[in-house]
Amino acid sequence: MSKILVVEDDELLNGGICFNLQNEGYEPIPVYDLKSAQGYVKSQNIDLILLDVNLPDGNGFDFAEKIKNYNQKPLIFMTAHELDEEIMRGFHLGADDYITKPFNVKIAMQRIHAVLRRSSGREKTDIYQCGNLTIDFENHTVAKCGEKLTLTPTEFKLLYVFVKNPNTALTRTLLLEKLWDNEGNFVDEHTLTINISRLRSKISDDQYKYIKTIYGMGYQWIGEMDE
């Protein structure tokens, strides 16, 4: 049973979300402030964090920045502000999705289902050495020059698609199909661009570029892969 940390200070809304999550077969953990949320993230094996942006003791964005070094679980932001700059900031911080209040509970549940499927649906493989990267797909870890990198579930799945298709031109449409379910109507090409940019910034350096842009077509993995 997946544990979902619901960080929302509105007790009525928090209770409603937890009620629906429980009906969907999840184990919701309601908390109402960031201090309590941090304690759960550190001590519990949480499968997903549903995080309000504005809380009594701080900002959800700042909290996500604070925990990203030791939390690699999926994260969905909730906010009453439908501002492009806020949504962009959320995705840059590693969010897997973004829910704007007020929201349809059924749609919110489908988004949660989709994020959990993506985070748990990776295939198990051996360890691969690509340039100065060591990638363990079974244990969901990546090291660069021996130092562990922190990747979001979406970034890691994107890396998997690239590594398993070396020297092959991958269109943006194909990447979207690989990353998200065919019925996933909540992700657009702009989100794909952000995830590729974040992944590049984490794995590339002066010696290894890894991901090549093929203008007008898509992307290509140009790293050498040794099995």
Per-residue model confidence as pLDDT tens digits over 66-96: 887 666 788 999 988 767 777 778 887 878 8
Residue 81, helix vs strand vs coil: coil
Residue 209 near residue 160 (C-beta atoms within 8 A) = no
Half-sphere exposure of 27 (CA within 13 A, CB side): 7
Question: Any residues with CB less than 8 A from the CB of 164 and at least 6 apart, and which?
Answer: none
Question: Any residues with CB less than 8 A from the CB of 69 and at least 6 apart, and which?
Answer: 150
Give the pLDDT score at 124: 44
pLDDT in tens, 40-66: 888 888 899 999 999 999 999 999 888
pLDDT at 184 over 50: no
pLDDT in tens, 88-126: 788 878 788 888 888 888 888 988 988 888 776 544 445
Sketch out the chain's domains with CATH numbers.
Answer: 3-120 (3.40.50.2300), 127-226 (1.10.10.10)
Q: What does the DSSP 8-state code read for residue 74? A: -
The CB density around residue 53, as the number of other CB atoms within 10 Å, is 21
Q: Which of these ranges, 1-5, 179-183, 219-223, has the smallest mean pLDDT? A: 179-183
Give the pLDDT score at 126: 57
- Omega cis (within 30) before 102: yes
Q: What is the β-pairing status of strands 75-79 and 48-52?
A: parallel
Give the pLDDT score at 177: 77
pLDDT, the chain, mean: 84
Residue 118 near residue 109 (C-beta atoms within 8 A) = no
State pTM to two decimals.
0.55
Q: What does the DSSP 8-state code read for residue 166? A: B
Cα–Cα dist 62/89, whole Å: 10
Six-digit token string for 93:
């911080």
